[in-house]
Copies of this chain bind each other. A is one copy, B any other.
Amino acid sequence: MAEKKLVESITSMETDFAQWYTDVVKKAELIDYTSVKGCMVIKPAGYAIWENIQKKLDEMFKEAGVQNVYLPMFIPESLLQKEKDHVEGFAPEVAWVTHGGLNELQERLCVRPTSETLFCDFYKNDIHSYRDLPRVYNQWCSVVRWEKETRPFLRSREFLWQEGHTAHATLEEAEERTIQMLNVYADFCEKILAIPVIKGKKTDKEKFAGAESTYTIEALMHDGKALQSGTSHNFGDGFAKAFEIQFADKDNTLKHVYQTSWGMSTRIIGAIIMVHGDDSGLVLPPEIASTQVMIIPIQQKKEGVLEKAYALRDMLKGSFRVRVDDSDKSPGWKFSEQEMRGIPVRVEVGPKDIAAGKCVICRRDTREKTETTFEALADTLKQVLADMQRDMLERARTHRDTHTYTAENMEEFVKIFDEKAGFVKAMWCGSQECEDIIKEKLSVTSRCMPFEQEHIADTCVCCGKPAKKMVYWGRAY
């Protein structure tokens, strides 16, 4: 049966999660590989997800007072080198442009891996007085990091993202903005993507190159691995001092600005796939799906069936993102495709349904079917989509909570990661030495020191000395 082929072509999650992921991104037609090693084509179904992410997130940014700009994609080598920690973090993984046209350049340019140095160079001339502050700018662009191992969406040499870069008169205001944007990311993940996240601070070992503090949202994938889903950095006045970004304050003295940056990338599409997907393919939260409702005609060659399908589409299109699959494939094949692509609901309508004045709605996540009259279709769909969005978040939250463990000592810690996969909450003394030991022994990293601290034990899970912080640990993408 042709219907079965599409689903059979993907590996089951339980058999091989990594292969399942690779199969889904290909079969749901999200990406394709290219002749450029480590770079991918984002195909229409994949790019439509990114477009919706951009649209929703950009609306939230604008409500938070963010303005969009665009800065060059090239960074002169001398500019990249101005902040010591930053260049150490990024120089080993940038792509270098050495020739323009037929001539060798006098100074190498790197393709931006991130744009702190460019924003600093710009702000240096753009900011003069306290009246020019705050600056709350963002850009949507692509960045390049010369990674050795790559995976679609999760790690590629070029990826799409947004990077916000702000400048403030005080450290307090910078800190406030850092947390504000982290909260925007967390709200976006939970409300729009139905992905629950842990908000917290990175340890010094894991923070961004050049940052004073890095905040993160961490999500748990279906296989129990963590994915850093968005970060927000407070730079203090470190970059401002390196780049000499000063302003005349109200008291007429020259002061350095305080800066932040924050970013979310196409990586988050990997999270959507790995949090919600199943053995039939992708499952998209209704809020982010570019097609929310696929109307699938049954026996579409019979008189009146396609007409009814189009009439339903026209009735619904003011309230939903809706399409009719009127291709010449079989209904079974169309069902498989709708499922593979993660379209939240399908509406099945055939001659019998039309005669009875009814049709069937089928939810992608639970496969639950609801019969409804044509009159009640719009209202029922609204309810079904709202239920699905809410249930997806709840299911993901339950999965995360049932895969979050606690360890009081090293023995427990090792045992959990031997047998299970998930987050482990454990106490930490604050020394990088313990982080290094844990990483070496368990192959896990500190994901964050969550804002919501708990008391698991009095002592560090590694060294047994007095504990300072409760930390989420995990294996990460």
A72/B122 contact (C-beta < 8 A), A99-B95, A99-B96, A137-B44 known: no
Q: How far, in whole Å, are A146 and B69 apart by their CA atoms in the complex? A: 22
- Taking CB atoms, residues of chain B closer than 8 Å to A98 are 96-99
Q: How far, in whole Å, are A70 and B40 apart by their CA atoms in the complex? A: 8
Q: How far, in whole Å, are A137 and B34 apart by their CA atoms in the complex? A: 16
Selected from B34, B44, B146, the residue in CB contact (under 8 A) with A68 is: B44
Quick check: is A101 within 8 A (CB to CB) of the other chain?
Answer: yes
A100/B158 contact (C-beta < 8 A), A69-B42, A72-B41, A137-B44 known: no
Is the beta-carbon distance between B70 and A160 smaller than 8 angstroms? yes
Interface residues of A in 16-50 (CB under 8 A from B): 32, 34-36, 39-44, 47-48, 50
Quick check: is A142 within 8 A (CB to CB) of the other chain?
Answer: yes
Quick check: is A471 within 8 A (CB to CB) of the other chain?
Answer: no
A36/B72 contact (C-beta < 8 A), A41-B122, A67-B44 known: yes
Is the beta-carbon distance between B68 and A48 smaller than 8 angstroms? yes
Is the beta-carbon distance between B125 and A72 smaller than 8 angstroms? no
Selected from B35, B73, B125, B158, the residue in CB contact (under 8 A) with A144 is: B73
Is the beta-carbon distance between A72 and B111 smaller than 8 angstroms? no
Q: How far, in whole Å, are A290 and B98 apart by their CA atoms in the complex? A: 39
Which residue of the partner chain B has the closest CB to A39? B72
Which residue of the partner chain B has the closest CB to A266? B70
Quick check: is A121 within 8 A (CB to CB) of the other chain?
Answer: yes
Q: How far, in whole Å, are A401 and B93 apart by their CA atoms in the complex? A: 55
Task: Please give the count of copies of this chain that the complex contains.
Answer: 2
Quick check: is A79 within 8 A (CB to CB) of the other chain?
Answer: yes
Is the beta-carbon distance between A101 and B146 smaller than 8 angstroms? yes
Interface residues of A in 74-103 (CB under 8 A from B): 74-76, 79, 92-102
A72/B121 contact (C-beta < 8 A), A96-B99, A98-B99, A126-B32 known: no
A35/B73 contact (C-beta < 8 A), A67-B44, A96-B97, A101-B146 known: no
- Taking CB atoms, residues of chain B closer than 8 Å to A68 are 44, 47-48, 51
Q: How far, in whole Å, are A100 and B36 apart by their CA atoms in the complex? A: 13
Q: How far, in whole Å, are A144 and B315 apart by their CA atoms in the complex? A: 46
Which residue of the partner chain B has the closest CB to A75? B36
Quick check: is A437 within 8 A (CB to CB) of the other chain?
Answer: no
Quick check: is A141 within 8 A (CB to CB) of the other chain?
Answer: yes
30 contacts between A and B (CB under 8 A): A32-B125, A32-B126, A34-B71, A34-B72, A35-B76, A35-B121, A36-B72, A36-B74, A36-B75, A36-B109, A36-B118, A39-B72, A40-B72, A41-B70, A42-B70, A43-B69, A44-B68, A47-B68, A70-B160, A74-B158, A92-B102, A93-B101, A95-B99, A95-B101, A95-B109, A96-B97, A96-B100, A97-B111, A100-B146, A101-B146
Known contacts A40-B72, A141-B142; can you find 8 more A-B pairs with CB under 8 A? A32-B125, A34-B121, A35-B76, A35-B121, A39-B72, A92-B102, A95-B97, A95-B100
A interface, CB within 8 angstroms of B: 32, 34-36, 39-44, 47-48, 50-51, 67-76, 79, 92-102, 109, 111, 118, 121-122, 125-126, 137, 141-142, 144, 146, 157-158, 160
